[in-house]
Amino acid sequence: MAKKAVASLQKGGGKEFTKVIITTKSAKTGAYTFKEGMIHNDKVKDAVAAAQK
């Protein structure tokens, strides 16, 4: 099943997207949380800049 998902991303417009994983540290517990998503290549820098604020 994973092969179908990978193959579908390689055809057509799938190459225009990047998987972004943003790590944040909780001030209360000190644990790390991860937020991931598929973002268009044109908006990757904006998403990373917004996460660093």
Give pLDDT, residue 6. 58
pLDDT surpassing 90 at residue 30: yes
Instruction: Collapse the DSSP code of 30 into the 3-class scheme (helix H, G, I; strand E, B; otherwise coil) and give the result.
Output: coil
pLDDT surpassing 70 at residue 40: yes
Residue 38 Ramachandran class (φ > 0 left, ψ -120 to 50 alpha, else beta): beta
pLDDT tens column, 1-21:
455 555 555 666 678 889 999
Give pLDDT, residue 8. 59
